[in-house]
Amino acid sequence: DAKTTQPNSMESNEEEPVHLPCNHSTISGTDYIHWYRQLPSQGPEYVIHGLTSNVNNRMASLAIAEDRKSSTLILHRATLRDAAVYYCILRANAGGTSYGKLTFGQGTILTVHP
Amino acid sequence: DAGVTQSPTHLIKTRGQQVTLRCSPKSGHDTVSWYQQALGQEPQFIFQYYEEEERQRGNFPDRFSGHQFPNYSSELNVNALLLGDSALYLCASSRRPAGTDTQYFGPGTRLTVL
């Protein structure tokens, strides 16, 4: 599986934007970029995913570099409830050999200060 | 719409015993994956079931086995428990065919082996 690299931790203040980076220099052309987060004492939760174009949903935005070797998860206004571990994961599309499993890295621990 | 449910919530066993954990997928989902998350670590993929067959397996010994029932629910069995099997066991469900099979996680079963 292609590997991702994320900072171990980041901090933010409440109601400020947060940009969580992820490097994936060995990404293949069919890999989707997924983000999951895990709040304390809960299972991981899907946040967003994309292939080439930037994506927006109610939780966050995903900005993907033109060469696809990096991406950034953007939380537009952080709240205390956004404090979690954020995982950037590459997923093969249907038919790929790694289809079906998520390979988690160590993720980024996001701390949000009031 | 109920999400992914797991039972039991917590479990305490002794070394050498056997344990069975249960998972009910989200409504409309037909694929179940299991993950092990040791304290302070990221989740590790154990295996995935679809159409009542194991489709993919991570780097786990044969002591870890599973089953999927016709109603898509699943069980994870661990034999000859070791202290190192103490972890949070997460179940995730998804739907095939789906290009990127977003996975929905349950709250997990916390297994303690004494």
- Using the CB atoms, write b or e for B51-75: b if 16+ within 10 Å: eeeebbebeeeeebbbebeeebbbb
A44 near B CB under 8 A: yes
Residue type, B52: E
**B101-111 residue pLDDT tens:** 688 999 999 99
Contacts of A107 in chain B (CB under 8 A): 42
Round to whole Å and give the CA distance between B18 and B21. 10
pLDDT < 70 positions in chain A: 1-2, 93-100
Tens of pLDDT, residue by residue over A40-60, are 989 999 999 999 999 999 989
**Long-range pairs, A59-67, Cβ under 8 A, ≥24:** A60/A35, A62/A33, A62/A35, A64/A33
Cross-chain Cβ contact B101/A45 below 8 Å: no
CB contact under 8 A, A100 and B50: yes
Chain-centre distance for alpha carbon B37: 11
Cβ contact, residue pair B102, A93, below 8 Å: no
Does A32 contact B103 at a Cβ distance shorter than 8 Å?
no
Per the CB < 8 Å rule, is B33 touching A106? no
Selecting from A45, A99, A102 the residue whose C-beta is nearest the C-beta of B45 gives: A102
* B50-70 residue pLDDT tens: 999 998 899 999 999 999 999
A49 touches chain B (CB under 8 A): yes
List of E strands, A51-107: 55-56, 61-64, 70-75, 84-92
Helix count (H) and strand count (E) of chain B?
0, 11
What are the structure tokens assigned to A93, written together? 């599309």
